[in-house]
Amino acid sequence: MNALDRRVDRLKSVPAALSEVDHGLAAVAPLPRANGELVFDEPWQGRALGMGVVALERSGISLVEFSRHLAEAVASHGYDPAEPAATAYYTAWLDALERALADRGVRAG
């Protein structure tokens, strides 16, 4: 299998991984939706979600473990009615991802 074939295989697995994440987080911290569609107010939010799904899959972090981090991040972020809900959610998503990866010994930089 050449490099292109491997890359295509990885890309095919991302929608399945996103579906698993979406389902796994539904009870604890569901992804923001409007009319059944994912909501991204800004491009960075979609990128954060995609990056997070791939990072969780490659690091072996379970959805149970990540959902705990996400619930803590959402709680610590607090509620500001002036902040768009999607912005608050994906900010907490990135905080949770950073903490989960740090717990696994993955460091930024």
Taking only the tens of pLDDT, the chain with its 109 residues reads 665 455 444 444 444 567 777 777 777 677 888 888 888 899 999 999 999 989 998 899 988 899 899 999 999 988 888 988 889 989 999 999 999 999 988 876 6
Q: From its phi and psi, is residue 67 left (phi > 0), alpha (psi between -120 and 50) or beta? A: alpha
Distance CA 108, CA 66 (A): 18
Token pair of 43 as six digits: 């491009």
Q: Where are the domains of the chain?
A: 14-103
